Copies of this chain bind each other. A is one copy, B any other.
Amino acid sequence: MENFTYFNPTKIEFGVEKEQMIGLYLANHNVKKVLLCYGSERIKREGLFDVVSKNLSENGIALVEFGGISSNPVLSTVRDAIMVARTQQVDAVLSVGGGSVLDSAKAIAAGVQYQGDVWDLFVGKAPIQSSLPVFSILTLAATGSEMNTYAVVTNEETKEKLFIASPESFPKVSILNPELMQGVPRDYLVYSAADVISHVIEPYFTASVQPKLLSRLAESVINTVVETTEALLTDPTDVAARGEFAWAATLAQNGLVFTGAAGFSYPNHAIEHALSALFNVPHGAGLSVIIPAWMKWYHSRNTAQFERFAKNVFGVMAAEEGIAALETWFNKVGTPTRLSQLGIGESDLPAVLENAMGNIRIFGMEDIYSQEAVETILRNAL
C-alpha cells in the first residue's frame, strides 16, 4: 500500500423521486439563484425540467436556464455559460443530465470564480482556487463525475480534450435516481459500460503497486457492470439493474479503487481523447475500440494481473483469453471494437497519433508510450 489521502465530501442522494428534494438540498446550502445546465430539450419533453423548476420555486430559489450542452462538451459553450452566470449573478450551478453536462457545470462553476479565461485552468496556467457550489441530477451513469473532482472539456479550436481536477469541484449533492436513466438509448448504455470498465481497468493493469483489496474492488465493479448491462439490454426497465449499474459507475471513479495503488496511468483515456476530440465519437465507443488494442500490446508487462482478470471476470485462464473475452463481450453488447466502426481509417492515423501524443505528453507518459508504441496500439485497432 502506498501512502494516500482519501477525502470525498459529496453527498449522494440515491433513489426514486429524490429529484423532488432538489430545492431543499440547494436551500440547505443557502443557494438563492442557480444556473440550471442541461443538454437537449428531452428533459423538458419528459417532465423532469418542470419537476425541478417547480421544486426550486417552492424553495424560493430563482432559476436561470442554460441548455444545449453537447456530449463531448466544448469550451465555447462553457465560456458562454460563464458569461450568463456572471451577468445573472447566480450563486450555484445545477447540472441536469449526464457526465457532459456535469463536467461543463464544474468548468462553469470554477470559471465564474476565475478572472482570466477558463481554459487557463485546463492547461495549468492557473490553479482552481474557488468554485461556485455544484449540484447534480444525473440522467446517465458513466463518467463518475457525480462524485469526483474531474471535468473534461474539448477546446474545439485547438482540438485538445483536457481535464481539470480540484477539491473545489466536488459536487455538494448528487442525485442518482435510476428511473431517470431508463430513457438512455441502448448504444449509450453500452458505451457507458465501456467507460466504467475503463475507469477501473486502467489503474488495475498499470499500477506498479496494486493491493489485492483494490483488485477485488475493481473486479466487483467490472462484474457488476457486465451483469447489469446484459440485464438492461434484455429489460431496460429493470430498475434494480439500472441502480446497480449507476452505483458501480460512481464507485469506479470516486477514488476508492485507487486508494493505496501507485504508479498507475490512463493510456487508454489519453489515446481515446484524440478520437473524440478529432472525430467527435462518443467517449465510451472510442474506449471500447482502444482498450482491446492496448491490452494486446501491454499485457506481457503485467501477465499475472491479466491472468487474474481473465479468471475473475470471464472465468478463463490465459491473459490472451481474457482480452479476447472482453473484446467478444464488447462486440456482443454492441459497442465498437474497431476504428473502422467509428469511420476512422488508416489515412486518419497520423492526425490521431499527433493528437494522442499531445495527451501522452500532458500525462507525462512518454517513457512507455513512444510514438511507435501508440502507433502499434492504433494499428491493432484498425
Residues of A at under 8 Å CB distance from B? 1-16, 18, 178, 211-213, 216-217, 219-221, 223-224, 227, 239-240, 243-244, 247-248, 251, 256, 259-260
Contacts and interface: CB of A to CB of B under 8 A. Distances in A.
Contacts of A1: 14-15, 178, 239-240, 243-244, 247
A4 B15 contact: yes
Contacts of A178: 1
A243 B262 CA distance: 14
A216 B12 CA distance: 20
A89 to B, nearest CB: 29
B244 A14 contact: no
B259 A14 contact: yes
Q: Report how many copies the assembly holds.
A: 2
Contacts of A248: 213
B260 A243 contact: yes
A159 to B, nearest CB: 38
27 contacts: A1-B178, A1-B240, A1-B243, A1-B244, A1-B247, A4-B12, A4-B14, A5-B11, A5-B12, A5-B13, A7-B11, A7-B12, A9-B9, A12-B259, A211-B243, A211-B247, A212-B224, A213-B221, A213-B224, A213-B244, A213-B247, A213-B248, A217-B220, A243-B260, A244-B260, A247-B260, A256-B256
